[in-house]
């Protein structure tokens, strides 16, 4: 499709990308992002009439009824500019689905929805926006080391058929991704549940808590890291499992716990692989 099949821009053809900025945007949708969504939809092959139909359905507002091309374009842009910030990301997911149907109907090459997702993620990273699209769903995006740790832990869990631990880790990411407010307690709970489930399997003790497992299996972690992991479990119990009024953990604390849990999982599975090789 000609609107989408433009050559890569100069900067990407010559690999002249600048250093990726830190995340500065999380619980908002800048005006520039709202414009970018419409622009990417058009480049992906959607007409302004398609865009208007998607947006009015997502935002549950009636179109104004003036069907001149210039007015429709103006209305599309205004709908995005006026939408509450969480709804802007809802619109992004719906545009992905419409482009997927376009690909199924007209067989775009590359697939229109995959192109849209890739370009949107490039935009998110370039603008320091703390979200990313994965298979059409907008999800939490943390600092690159966190994303790498989660990806590595998930890969190893899947390779070793630890489906329950993998699912718990994925749930922790989903809790961080909730809009308009993340479920920080849920993220902590699921992250530590992923570790606890894995350690139960490694220790052959399906009912013990993580704290008891660390005490009963002193060889699980090198000292003094075993004490640090035990305190991490205690933190999760205090702030997530037995939360008290006025003691809600912050997003930063939840991100830290999810990252640490991912690193612990990767470490345990790497050591398991090494032990089997000896």
Q: Cα(240)–Cα(262) distance, rounded to whole angstroms?
A: 17
pLDDT digits (tens, 9 = 90+) for 177-217: 998 889 998 999 999 999 999 999 999 998 888 888 888 88
| Single pTM value for the model | 0.77
pLDDT digits (tens, 9 = 90+) for 7-24: 677 776 767 666 778 899
Q: Cα(272)–Cα(48) distance, rounded to whole angstroms?
A: 55
* Residue-range domain boundaries for the chain: 10-130, 144-277
CA 128 from centre of chain: 14
The count of C-alpha atoms lying within 13 angstroms of the C-alpha of 186, restricted to the half-sphere facing its C-beta, is 13
Q: Cα(205)–Cα(267) distance, rounded to whole angstroms?
A: 19
Task: Give the contacts of 234 (CB within 8 A, at least 6 positions apart).
Answer: 211
SS3 207: coil
Q: To which H or E segment does residue 236 belong?
A: helix 225-236
Q: Cα(75)–Cα(18) distance, rounded to whole angstroms?
A: 34
Please answer whether residues 261 and 193 qualify as being in contact, where contact means their C-beta atoms are separated by less than 8 angstroms. Answer: no
pLDDT per residue, tens digit, the chain (278 aa), is 445 555 677 776 767 666 778 899 999 999 999 999 999 999 999 999 999 999 999 999 999 877 788 899 999 999 999 999 999 999 999 999 999 999 999 888 889 999 999 999 999 999 999 999 999 999 999 888 888 899 999 999 999 999 999 999 999 999 999 988 899 989 999 999 999 999 999 999 988 888 888 888 888 888 888 888 888 888 877 765 555 555 678 899 899 999 999 999 999 999 888 887 75
Q: Cα(210)–Cα(190) distance, rounded to whole angstroms?
A: 13
The count of C-alpha atoms lying within 13 angstroms of the C-alpha of 99, restricted to the half-sphere facing its C-beta, is 31
Q: Residue 205 is encoded by which pair of tokens?
A: 């003790």
């Amino acid at each position: 499709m000609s609107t989408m099949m433009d050559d890569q821009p100069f900067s990407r053809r010559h690999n002249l990308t600048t250093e990726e900025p830190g995340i500065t945007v999380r619980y908002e949708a800048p005006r520039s992002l709202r414009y970018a969504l419409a622009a990417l939809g058009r480049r992906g092959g959607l007409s302004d009439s398609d865009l208007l139909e998607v947006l009015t359905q997502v935002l549950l507002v009636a179109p104004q009824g003036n069907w001149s091309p210039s007015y429709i374009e103006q209305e599309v842009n205004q709908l995005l500019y006026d939408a509450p910030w969480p709804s802007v990301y809802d619109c992004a997911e719906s545009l992905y689905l419409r482009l997927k149907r376009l690909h199924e109907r007209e067989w775009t090459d590359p697939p229109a929805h995959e192109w849209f997702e890739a370009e949107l993620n490039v935009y998110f990273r370039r603008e320091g926006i703390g979200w990313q699209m994965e298979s059409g769903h907008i999800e939490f995006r943390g600092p690159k080391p966190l994303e790498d740790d989660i990806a590595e832990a998930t890969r190893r869990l899947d390779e070793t058929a630890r489906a329950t631990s993998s699912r718990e880790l994925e749930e922790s990411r989903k809790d961080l991704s909730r809009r308009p407010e993340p479920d920080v307690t849920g993220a902590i709970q699921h992250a530590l549940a992923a570790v606890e489930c894995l350690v139960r399997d490694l220790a052959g003790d399906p009912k013990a808590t993580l704290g008891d497992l660390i005490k009963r299996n002193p060889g699980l972690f090198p000292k003094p890291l075993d004490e640090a992991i035990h305190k991490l479990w205690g933190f999760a119990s205090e702030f997530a499992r037995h939360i008290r009024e006025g003691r809600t953990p912050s997003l930063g604390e939840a991100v830290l716990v999810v990252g640490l849990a991912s690193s612990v999982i990767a470490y345990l599975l790497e050591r398991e692989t090494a032990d089997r090789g000896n």
